[in-house]
Amino acid sequence: MISRRTLLGSAAALTLALAYAGPALADPDQALADLQKTVLSKGPSGEAPAPASSVVLTPDELAKIKDMNATAAIVMHYGGNDWSRAQINGLQKQFADMGIKVLAVTDAGFKPEKQVADIETIMAQKPNIIVSIPTDPTATAAAYKAAAAAGTKLVFMDNVPTGFTAGKDYVSVVSADNYGNGVASAHLMAKALGGKGDIGVVFHAADFFVTKQRYDAFKATIASDYPDIKIVSEQGIGGPDFSGDAEKAASAILTSNPNVKGIWAVWDVPAEGVISAARNAGRDDLVITTIDLGENVAISMAQNGFVKGLGAQRPYDAGVVEAKLAGYGLLGKEAPGFVALPALPVTRDTLLDGWKAVYSTDATDNVKKSLGQ
């Protein structure tokens, strides 16, 4: 069972860890199984999570939406990675089923000023809906506020602009259980290390709600449940070259702390940089855990490489839910302010089933070949 101490929060957990040294306080396998039955994350304003299964449109409601001939735009923080593609695929499929035309899909390259320009350009086409993930909650807030004032219904992924209220400024926000995935990646790290050893952390040095949740959860779980695992070095990365920045950060950790047994990375693209650093340092024994099931980290797991496990989001399913919530906005139907999908721990043994759950399709040929299939 997930330790009660894990749920207390990082500050209390760290205090407990400093005061106690001894065997692990959690059974990683049981904790990982329990995570898939609940959601640990709260929403950006502390909202309790509503399950994705609660977001439903009746046949009559779908017919009304189709008669509206509505339009939508998808405004991404950055694209080209597996997570973004899966979100977009889920959104486009559900919008098509609802008779909603997608006018544009944009990629801000994780630059707030580019995302603001994207929103302003899109608004010239007067979309009924924008589904988006803000790159920076403060820098982009005015652009989203202007879109909402023009009557566009806003649905967010993961992050919400500063000063926004659910049901007033936007319809809802949809997220994975990012806190839960941070917990999962900690238990997977502990399992791979046998519950002991020094580790490093590569975190996202930005005001980004969900990546902070992952970081806090990972640290709190290690501190409360695994007193023989010590975080001896932390390095922040800001991007947009997250793989390159993470490679430099991991190299610094490995150079200054040659005895580290593992490094946690905040998502799969930074984890790719950690893999490169480990290879360059000749550290074939290094354990890496992370969040998000991208193809490259999946191949590493399949080949019994550096990545021993990760907590996966369910981006395709999230995209489907976001599109349905946009329908709520068009209908004026009351929506839950925060919808979350459970964490999904993935290891080599569960890789193919995990891929199907994450992307709603079979694993790529590259992943299958790496598994010897």
**Domains of the chain, residue spans:** 4-39+178-313+345-370, 50-176+315-341
d(CA 359, CA 82): 9
The domain covering 50-176+315-341 belongs, at the CATH homologous superfamily level, to Response regulator (3.40.50.2300)
Cα–Cα dist 105/336, whole Å: 25
- Name which of 162, 145, 149, 246 is nearest 204 in CA terms: 246
Would you list the DSSP string of 300-351?
HHHTT-SEEEEEE--HHHHHHHHHHHHHHHHHT----SEEEE--EEE-GGGH
31-73 confidence digits (pLDDT tens): 998 888 889 998 888 889 999 999 999 999 999 999 999 999 9
Residue 23: its pLDDT value, please? 57
User: What is the pLDDT, as a whole number, of residue 246?
Assistant: 98
**Strands 153-157, 172-176: parallel, antiparallel or unpaired by DSSP?**
parallel
- Amino acid symbol at 113: E
The answer to whether domain 4-39+178-313+345-370 and domain 50-176+315-341 are alike in fold is: yes
Say which CATH superfamily domain 4-39+178-313+345-370 falls into.
Response regulator (3.40.50.2300)
- What is the reported pTM? 0.82
Strand partners, 235: 202
Tens digits of residue pLDDT in 307-363: 999 999 999 999 999 999 999 999 999 999 999 999 999 999 999 999 999 998 999
Assess contact for 183 and 216: CB atoms under 8 A. no
